Amino acid sequence: MAVHSLEHARGLAMSDSLAATLNELASEIIGLGIDTVSVQRIEKMIVQYGDRFIDRVFTETEKSYCGAYKESSERFAGRWAAKEAVVKALGVGLAQGVCWKEIEIDARSHGAPKVRLTGMAEQVCMQLDVSQVLVSISHCSGRCIANAFAVKNTKDPVEDS
Residues 49-81 pLDDT 10s: 999 999 999 999 999 999 999 989 999 999 999
Classified as helix, coil or strand, 137 is strand
* In contact, 80 and 98? CB cutoff 8 Å: no
Dihedral sign for Cα 89, 91, 95, 99, please: negative
- Give residue 135's identity as a one-letter amino acid code: V
- Given pLDDT bands bounded at 50, 70 and 90, which one contains residue 28? confident
**Distance, CA of 75 to CA of 98 (rounded, Å):** 22
Residue 160 has pLDDT above 60, yes or no: no
Q: Is the overall model pTM greater than 0.85, yes or no?
A: no
